[in-house]
Each structure stands twice: as C-alpha cells, then as structure tokens.
Amino acid sequence: MKKIVIALAALALSAGIASAQDLNAALEVYNNAVAQSEDDKAAALDGLKNALKLGEALGEEGNDLVANCKSAIPALMLSLAKAQINEANYDKALEMLAETEAVANEYENGDVLIEIPDLFVNVYNRRGSKLFNEKNFAPALEDLAKVVEADSTDGKTFLKIAMAQQALGNVDAAVESYKKAAANGNEAAANKRIGSIFIAKGQAFQKAGKNVEAIEAYETAMGYVENAGVFKVIGNLNTKIGKLAAANEAYKKYLELKPTAPDADDVKYTIADIARRSGDKATAKAYYSQILSNATYAAEAKKQLGAL
C-alpha cells in the first residue's frame, strides 16, 4: 500500500476549500492506515474501511482514494487470513478467506482472487491432516476430499483418505482410494495396505469354512503384495478342495519366496506327490530329486524316482 499526497492548495482551486478539507481528512485517515499496516493490520483494515466510506461520500473527488482503498482492503484481508493459517487457526482462516473472496470479487481485485483457491486447499489439507493425526477420521475425510478434488494427482492425500476410510470400516471405498494413491506415486505403501485388506477378508472366509472365497481373496491380496505364508495357505486350501494343479503352483511360489524355510523339504515332497498323482512326471521327478538327502523322505523319493 502507498500513501497518497495531495496539496490542499491545489484542491482548493479545483473543488473549493470545504471539499478540499474533507478530502484531505479522508486522505489522512487512509495514510494513517497505511502507516499502521505493518504493525497492526487489524487496525489498519478498520482505517482503510473508514477511508473508503469517506472517499465514497466525496463523489468524483474521492475516486482515486476509493480506488486505492479497494485495492488495499482485500490485500490486507488476505494477509490477515494468512496469519491465521500460520497460527493454525484453521476455522478462522477459512472464515476470513471466504470474506476476503467476497470483498475481492466486489472490488474486482484479481491479484487477490488468484491466490485464494490455493489457500483454501492449503487450509483444508492442514486441518484435515491434523484431524487425521488425531484419529478424528470422519471430519478429516471431509477436508481431505476437498484437497484431492482440487488436485486429483495428490497420492499422499489419497493414502490418508484410504487409511481414514479403512479405520471407519468403509473397506471397499478404502481400496479404491488406495488404488488412486498407488497410481500417483505411493504404490508400495498403498499396495501393501490393499494386500492386508484382502488377507483379512481371506482369513474371515477361511474361518467361516468358505474355502473358495478365501482362496479368491488371498489370491487378490497376492496380486498387490506377495507373502510366502499366504501362498502356502492358498496351496493347502486348493489341496483341500481338490484343485491340485493350483495347489502346486501356490506351493512353488511359497518355496520361491522362502527357499530356506524350515519346512521346505516337506513342501517339496508335497509338490512331488501331487505331481505324481496328477500324472506330471517331470515335476514329480524334479522335486523328488531335491529331497534325496533328507532322511525322512530319501527312501520314498528313491522309490518313486525308480518307478517314474
């Protein structure tokens, strides 16, 4: 903001002494407000509003003063709103941003208007993240939704949204949000959480005796994050329902991920036995050969290799 200096004598010649004095008084109010703007913005804003009223009352003679006030008032309001953001007074900041936007529109202050949308998003992000960290998930979701509405590539915010949805029990929505997080730079973290969701679903189905559904959920989980133990469970369940080829594929994956597992030879024997009974001689031979040094399985392995 800048001070306005007008010579009283010049005004007297063009508009008369009384009018010049009125304008000079209005200018003094304006200039005092400008001087206050560094130390006391709230008082300065009140002064500018006062100067605006005085300028408008002067008619054409106050046009320049009115224009200066209409430029300065929204800018000062924006500065006050930013101060509230920095002080983490987010509710007040949103209120002040809305007021600033209304005034800037009324006064056609484009410089201020161009800043406001990003500031709204900034506040929603800060307040939403604070609520999220406090585990106040429902209101956090409302704020964070506004952030991704403004920027659909904000993977970090999608990750928070997904975690909040999951915490609130909205698992299907969480999966979709995790997918958006994964598509926008957070693949590892998002896929790990999607995998955990489907593992939990698989465990629930398994506990209920719904083996087909459990296998489907576990396999979906493994599409996002591989886990040796889950592959072994998939193998066991497929064996249980008679899907032997699928069981062997899962057991092979288990060994691939955990080749030094304590039960590796047990699983190799299972693969060999299933392959032999299924007529897959090549696989049976390959896995029987791998357990010839195991005291528990050596004799049976030699016998089966001789028969194949």
pLDDT at residue 140, rounded to an integer = 98
Q: DSSP label at 262?
A: T
Whether residues 121 and 89 share a domain: the answer is no
pLDDT at residue 11, rounded to an integer = 44
pLDDT at residue 9, rounded to an integer = 38
Q: Distance between CA atoms of 251 and 258, rounded to whole angstroms?
A: 10
Domain that holds residue 177: 115-185
pLDDT at residue 2, rounded to an integer = 55
Residue by residue, pLDDT tens for the chain (308 residues) are 555 444 433 444 454 444 667 778 888 888 888 888 788 999 999 999 998 999 899 888 889 999 999 999 999 999 999 999 999 999 999 999 999 999 999 999 999 999 999 999 999 999 999 999 999 999 999 999 999 999 999 999 999 999 999 999 999 999 999 999 999 999 999 999 999 999 999 999 999 999 999 999 999 999 999 999 999 999 999 999 999 999 999 999 999 999 999 999 999 999 999 999 999 999 999 999 999 999 999 999 999 999 98
Among residues 200, 236, 247, 235, which one has the least CA distance to residue 220?
200
Q: Is 21 exposed, middle or buried (0-12, 13-18, 19+ CB in 10 A)?
A: middle
Question: Is 255 among the domain residues?
Answer: no
Contact indicator for 70, 38 with CB cutoff of 8 Å: no
Question: Is 75 among the domain residues?
Answer: yes
Whether residues 101 and 30 share a domain: the answer is yes
Question: Is 252 among the domain residues?
Answer: no
Provide the residue count of the chain: 308
Q: Distance between CA atoms of 88 and 45, rounded to whole angstroms?
A: 22
Boundary of a domain, candidates 80, 106, 132: 106
pLDDT at residue 18, rounded to an integer = 43
H helix runs in the chain, sequence order = 8-15, 17-36, 41-57, 63-86, 90-106, 110-113, 116-133, 137-150, 155-167, 171-183, 187-207, 211-222, 228-240, 244-257, 264-278, 281-289, 298-307
Distance of CA 275 to the CA centre of its chain: 48
> How many domains, in total, are found in the chain?
4
pLDDT at residue 125, rounded to an integer = 98
pLDDT at residue 110, rounded to an integer = 95
pLDDT at residue 16, rounded to an integer = 47
What is residue 89's three-state secondary structure?
coil
